[in-house]
Amino acid sequence: MGKKLLLANDHVPGIQSYAVYREKGGYASVEKALKTMTPEAVVEEVKKSGLRGRGGAGFPTGMKWSFLAKPEGVPRYLVCNADESEPGTFKDRYLMSRIPHFLIEGMITSSYALGANTSYIYVRGEYYYVIAILEKAIKEAYAAGWLGKNILGTGYDLDLYVQPGGGAYICGEETALLESLEGKRGNPRIKPPFPAIKGLYGCPTVVNNVETIAAVVPIVNEGGDEYAKIGIGRSTGTKLISASGHINKPGVYEIELGVPVEEFIYSDQYCGGILNNKKLKAVVAGGSSVPILPANLILKTANGEDRLMTYESLSDGGFASGSMLGSGGFIVMDETTSIVKNLWNFARFYHHESCGQCSPCREGTGWMEKVLHKIVHGHGEMKDIDLLWDLQRRIEGNTICPLGDAAAWPVASAIRHFRHEFEEFVREGHSVKDVKHYFEVNNL
Amino acid sequence: MEKNLQFKPETLKLIKEVMSRYPEGKHKSALLPVLHLAQAEFDGWLSPEAMDLVADALNIKPIEVYEVASFYSMYNLKPVGKCLLEVCRTSSCWLRGAEDIVRHLEQTLGIKEGETTPDGMFTLKTVECLGSCGTAPMLQCGAQFHENLTFEKVDQLVSDLRKDGARKTYFDEVTVTHY
């Protein structure tokens, strides 16, 4: 079993409460940072740790923090991105609902490092019960003196609030999130200026994922160098993986970066193998947006090396034969899965979630959904497959935010690796599995 | 349509509290949370009157409320049943049988997806990923996640909700059975 930094105490009874969390050593990072470290020293530890954004982009957190502008007399903000909406991803919900004080502790330590005196946790609205859990924990933290004025007598003030979203995938994009937090439609902003210069209310702002902010706690407690010893190369530390789909043990697993994908899928420590002893067909390794890979390419790289759960190994081979670690939303599909129908499912999602600001995404996602609907319902033609390819190519890179790319990549990768299935669908007008299912449900 | 719509005094107090979370002059930030409060208070949906009331409370233009309410999928701009059953249909749930759950609910309730039962008790809706992929298939009703669904669990849920008869909102107390 690998080292656990975030979920070491997740099954301790009562860990949701302040008393138990504190008894287990909680809030030590706040004490250490506020009493013995300068904000710059905290940023330095995060830099040393090699921590990369856990929301999906994988950008080095310490570097992101060091870009924060610090003009005199202008407030700075830390905003936690808890808008977890990437299909296949549910780790942040687990962490927040199971150990709410972990995130709050990370928010205090990180806010101190950035010089923010007001911070927000933006939680997707559907997680309203998680908001209730967080708000209760925040109240406890205020009562115990970890939030408010003059924390621990150090003169540092911090107010922390939870903000609910309204149900929009796009608000996981950091500038759309800021728009939403300002009470507007979630339309991403044109960058530059980046939030580090002009973010919330036009002030310098850092937006970080829940897991990223939580990781600051062990980094401050044990030091950036210790954290960086875990993992391989530039993939340091631990990562929460949300495992779902056709596996025996779906759930959230904290892994040391570097675990082989094969071990992650088949070991009883993790996914426990494929459901009903079926064969593995494909995996979407990092949330719906990342390229899908067939079994052979998810287990081994094109060069025949073991594929590892790291940023670098999962992207080995580029999009020709690789994928991405993304948010760690690990969706496993068995041999009975129709890749075409799954892609239609994804296409519907992106069409529904496009904010409508950029034409290539607004029109393109709808078009891709329609073409896939046509194929799935038995009216497809061979030229539709090329049309799909053409459509995704014209969306990628032509939009303000990455939702366009996120909608294009699943289409491109499904055609790249499973073109024969699209052709079968077009030729037969259906997939063999559907016919079997139709006979089953109608008792024929 | 209800005339002279008004927030309850305790809701108005809550709205003031929400507005105090933001810097001076940035109270428009309260719009999304206040829309949730309004929806919970006024029968689970946002009528034009309810949205105007929100605009008044926040001292912003009605159009600023409409454009936001129409952007986010949690705000209902048409009346819904007391229990809005939101079944997740995205990949991970689909792989674990979400389509069968929807079909079963359609048969049980005698309505199609998107419709409301004649008694106004249930509205059936499919929604995009609710972040419950490891406990798929699932549905949300009010704030409660119902996870690892089977036909039996769905039947039990429908019968429990019917017996209870109360409107479900995002502010309900929740039992956490799975993490």
Q: Which residues pair with A292 in a beta bridge?
A: A284
Q: What percent of chain A has pLDDT over 70?
A: 96
Question: Do A244 and B71 lie within an 8 Å CB cutoff?
Answer: no
Question: Do B128 and A353 lie within an 8 Å CB cutoff?
Answer: yes
pLDDT at A37 over 60: yes
Q: What is the DSSP string of B51-75?
A: HHHHHHHHT--HHHHHHHHTTSTTS
Beta pairing, strands A238-245 & A235-236:
unpaired
First to last CA, chain A: 48
Look up the CATH number of the domain holding residue A416.
Answer: 1.20.1440.230
Helix (H, G, I), strand (E, B) or coil at A95: helix
Q: Would you state the CATH architecture of domain B83-164?
A: 3-Layer(aba) Sandwich (3.40)
Contact (CB, 8 A) for B114 and B125: yes
Looking at the domain assignment, is residue A327 inside a domain? Answer: yes
First to last CA, chain B: 41
Treating both helix axes as pointing N-terminal to C-terminal, what angle do B98-109 and B151-164 enclose, rounded to 10 degrees? 40
Other Cβ atoms closer than 10 A to A73: 4
Looking at the domain assignment, is residue A367 inside a domain? Answer: yes
Range A380-384 contact pairs with CB under 8 angstroms and sequence separation of 24 or more: A380/A422, A380/A425, A380/A426, A380/A429, A381/A426, A382/A423, A382/A426, A384/A426
pLDDT of residue B1: 47
B42 to chain A, minimum CA–CA distance in Å? 17
**pTM here?**
0.96
b (16+ CB within 10 A) / e for B9-39: eebeeebeebbebbeeeebbbbbbbbbbbbb
Contact (CB, 8 A) for B74 and A168: no
What residue ranges do the domains of chain B occupy?
Answer: 9-69, 83-164
pLDDT of residue B177: 74
pLDDT of residue B39: 97
Q: In angstroms, rounded to a whole number, what is the distance separating the alpha carbons of residues A255 and A345?
A: 29
Tokens 């690998």 correspond to A2
For residue A352, the chain B residues in CB contact (below 8 A) are 73, 128
Residues A284, A420, single domain; the answer is no
- Closest partner residue to A163 (CB to CB) among B33, B92, B144 is B33
| Nearest chain B residue to A201, by CA | B26
Residues A350, A387, single domain; the answer is yes
Homologous superfamily of the B9-69 domain (CATH): NADH-quinone oxidoreductase subunit E (1.10.10.1590)
ipTM higher than the 0.90 cut: yes
Look up the CATH number of the domain holding residue A323.
Answer: 3.10.20.600
Looking at the domain assignment, is residue A443 inside a domain? Answer: no
* pLDDT tens per residue, range A354-365: 999 999 999 999
- Closest partner residue to A167 (CB to CB) among B33, B74, B100 is B74
Looking at the domain assignment, is residue A255 inside a domain? Answer: yes
Number of domains present in the structure of chain A: 3
Residues A109, A75, single domain; the answer is yes
- Closest partner residue to A90 (CB to CB) among B33, B96, B132 is B132
Residues A291, A320, single domain; the answer is yes
B143 to chain A, minimum CA–CA distance in Å? 6
**DSSP 8-state code for residue A272:** -
Looking at the domain assignment, is residue A9 inside a domain? Answer: no
pLDDT at A238 over 50: yes
Range of the domain at A40: 18-229
Looking at the domain assignment, is residue A10 inside a domain? Answer: no
Can you say whether the dihedral through the CA atoms of A393, A394, A398, A400 is positive or negative?
Answer: negative
Residues A81, A97, single domain; the answer is yes
pLDDT at A397 over 70: yes
Residues A273, A323, single domain; the answer is yes
Other Cβ atoms closer than 10 A to B151: 15
Give the residue-averaged pLDDT of A304-319: 97
Q: In angstroms, rounded to a whole number, what is the distance separating the alpha carbons of residues A441 and A109?
A: 55
* pLDDT tens per residue, range A99-131: 999 999 999 999 999 999 999 999 999 999 999
- Closest partner residue to A88 (CB to CB) among B68, B72, B133 is B133
For residue A185, the chain B residues in CB contact (below 8 A) are 67-68, 71
For residue A184, the chain B residues in CB contact (below 8 A) are 28, 68
Other Cβ atoms closer than 10 A to A301: 18
Question: Do A167 and B75 lie within an 8 Å CB cutoff?
Answer: yes
Q: What percent of chain B has pLDDT over 90?
A: 94
Helices (H), A354-431: 359-376, 382-395, 403-428
Question: Do B73 and A166 lie within an 8 Å CB cutoff?
Answer: yes
Question: Do A245 and B95 lie within an 8 Å CB cutoff?
Answer: yes
Residue A92 structure tokens? 């942040």
Give the residue-averaged pLDDT of A371-389: 95
pLDDT at A432 over 60: no
- Closest partner residue to A85 (CB to CB) among B35, B100, B129 is B129
For residue B130, the chain A residues in CB contact (below 8 A) are 126
Residues A326, A251, single domain; the answer is yes
Residues A199, A243, single domain; the answer is no
**DSSP 8-state code for residue A125:** G
Domain boundary among A229, A249, A268: A229
Residues A157, A259, single domain; the answer is no
Cis peptide before B62 (omega within 30 of 0): no
Question: Do B145 and A125 lie within an 8 Å CB cutoff?
Answer: no
Residue B61 structure tokens? 């233009």
Looking at the domain assignment, is residue A391 inside a domain? Answer: yes
Q: In angstroms, rounded to a whole number, what is the distance separating the alpha carbons of residues A287 and A252?
A: 13
Residues A260, A378, single domain; the answer is no
Contact (CB, 8 A) for A34 and A226: no
For residue A98, the chain B residues in CB contact (below 8 A) are 179
Looking at the domain assignment, is residue A8 inside a domain? Answer: no
Residues A375, A283, single domain; the answer is no
Virtual torsion, Cα A239, A240, A245, A250, nearest 10 deg: 130
Helix (H, G, I), strand (E, B) or coil at A435: helix
> For residue A358, which of A189, A122, A158, A160 has the smallest C-alpha distance?
A189
For residue A163, the chain B residues in CB contact (below 8 A) are 21, 29, 32-33
Residues A245, A276, single domain; the answer is yes
Domain boundary among A170, A196, A229: A229
- Closest partner residue to A244 (CB to CB) among B35, B92, B171 is B92
pLDDT at B2 over 60: no
Question: Do B21 and A161 lie within an 8 Å CB cutoff?
Answer: yes
Q: Which residues pair with A293 in a beta bridge?
A: A283
Q: What percent of chain A has pLDDT over 90?
A: 95
Q: What is the DSSP string of A302-343?
A: TTSPBPBSSHHHHTTTHHHH----TT-EEEEEETT--HHHHH
* pLDDT tens per residue, range A269-289: 999 999 999 999 999 999 999
Helix (H, G, I), strand (E, B) or coil at A406: helix
Question: Do B133 and A118 lie within an 8 Å CB cutoff?
Answer: no
Q: Where are the beta strands (DSSP E) in A96-215?
A: 118-123, 148-151, 156-164, 205-209
* pLDDT tens per residue, range A128-183: 999 999 999 999 999 999 999 999 999 999 999 999 999 999 999 999 999 999 99
Confidence at A58, pLDDT banded by 50, 70, 90? very high
Domain boundary among A197, A229, A261: A229
User: H or E element: which one contains A131?
Assistant: helix A128-143
For residue B135, the chain A residues in CB contact (below 8 A) are 250
